[in-house]
Amino acid sequence: MIALQVLVSGLGLSGYYALVALGFSLIFATVKVFHVAHGTVFLAGGYLFFFLHRGLGVNLLVAALAGVAVAAALGLLIDKLVYLPVLRRGGGLFSVFIASLGVSLVFEAGYNLLSRNVLQVARTEPLTILTFGAVAIRVLDLFMAGLVAVVFGLAYLWLFRSTAGLEIRALTDNPALAGVVGVNVKRVRNTVFLVASALAGLAGVITAYDTGIVPDTGLRVLFIAVVAVILGGVQNLMLGTLVGSLCLGLLTAFAGLLFPPWVSVAVFLALILLIVVRPKGLFAT
């Protein structure tokens, strides 16, 4: 029975990873940037939500939307003010990665200053749970499952049934040729960063409400999401990301049960095993 309970917890966790992973995957696949600051964006959404809802008593939905919007804007700003200038000055993708790491560290220091590294949970009321025998399911987890289904459904329609999605997939396949055939690379890039950052912000908001956030939560969640993306196959934006997130959600949940201090080690081991056995991921294209 305990395995069933942990399975339920794992599925709940995988929802957060899926939202962050989808955004990271979008950015990495299209513009080839290893966007470490994606964790920063996740936290920006979470901290703003905490400040507005718990600090100022702002309505939950309004505070959540504000968190998502600010996260989206921050992600776009990071691209425009940091990544693009680096690229324009002849810096390669590795330079952009270093710049992203720098942004992430600067913001983490800022979050440390603001929060003093104290856990911030954006609610005081307990979550509603549904009990089925010995298994308790949090209503929030059901909401998360529904949200992920909607987000991935919409993402699928957007990527595979719209012109904008076609442009994104073109950029994913061949950025140079996409530009040549008339894809507005700049507009697609902006859209990708906005959408991906909004997804990270959404995950940050819900995490702040659920278990709370500390300044290193962003990097921790990002790390797991990245492993999920690699597991699923970097180029496989949808199914690969979703399956990878599910696997990592279950892995971290069971690791949390069996050897709690070694959850990060478990994820590392999974990554190493993956790189050795199937470096292109489960759904490599």
Partner 1 sequence: MAALEKERGELMITKGHIAKGERTVRNRRVSPQLGILVAVLFVLAACAPAAAPSPSAAPAKPAGQAAAAPASGEPYKIGVTFPLTGPQAAWGTLLVPAVEMGVQDVNDAGGVSGRPLSLVVEDSKGDPQAAVAAMRKVVQVDRVPVVQTIFTNVVTAQMTLADQLKVPIISTIEAPGLTDRSPYNFANSVTMADVLPLHSQHWQNQGYMKMFAFLPNTSIGEIYSPLLKGEAEKLGIQYDEARFKLGETDFRGLVSRAKDFGPDMIITAGHGTIDEANIMRQARELGIQVPLYGSCGCITAKSYREAMGELAEGFTFTTLKYDPQAAEKFITAYRQKMGFDPDYAALENYDIVFMIRDAIARGGYTGDGIQKALSEIKDFQSIGGGTISMGPNRQTKQTVAMYQIRNGQVTEIQP
Applying CB under 8 A, the residues found at the interface with partner 1 are 1-2, 5-6, 9, 13, 112, 116-119, 121, 123-127, 129, 131, 134-136, 138, 207, 211-214, 216-217, 252-258, 260-261, 263
Q: 223 and 21 in contact (C-beta within 8 Å)?
A: no
Which of 211, 285 has the CB closer to partner 1? 211
Q: In degrees, to the nearest 5, what angle opens at C-alpha 200 toward C-alphas 281 and 34?
A: 50
As given in the structure block, the two tokens for residue 115 are 């929060």
Which of 137, 170 has the CB closer to partner 1? 137
Smallest gap from Cβ 11 to partner 1, in A, equals 11
Smallest gap from Cβ 108 to partner 1, in A, equals 12
Smallest gap from Cβ 278 to partner 1, in A, equals 27
Which of 171, 228 has the CB closer to partner 1? 228
Smallest gap from Cβ 132 to partner 1, in A, equals 10
Which of 6, 170 has the CB closer to partner 1? 6
Which of 40, 235 has the CB closer to partner 1? 40
Close Cβ partners of 128 (under 8 Å, ≥ 6 residues apart): 138, 139
Smallest gap from Cβ 128 to partner 1, in A, equals 9
Which of 261, 279 has the CB closer to partner 1? 261
Smallest gap from Cβ 148 to partner 1, in A, equals 17
Distance CA 79, CA 74 (A): 9
Which of 91, 256 has the CB closer to partner 1? 256
Smallest gap from Cβ 103 to partner 1, in A, equals 21
Distance CA 67, CA 28 (A): 23
Which of 7, 69 has the CB closer to partner 1? 7
Smallest gap from Cβ 252 to partner 1, in A, equals 8
Phi, psi angles (nearest 5°) of residue 284: -60, 135
Close Cβ partners of 190 (under 8 Å, ≥ 6 residues apart): 76, 79
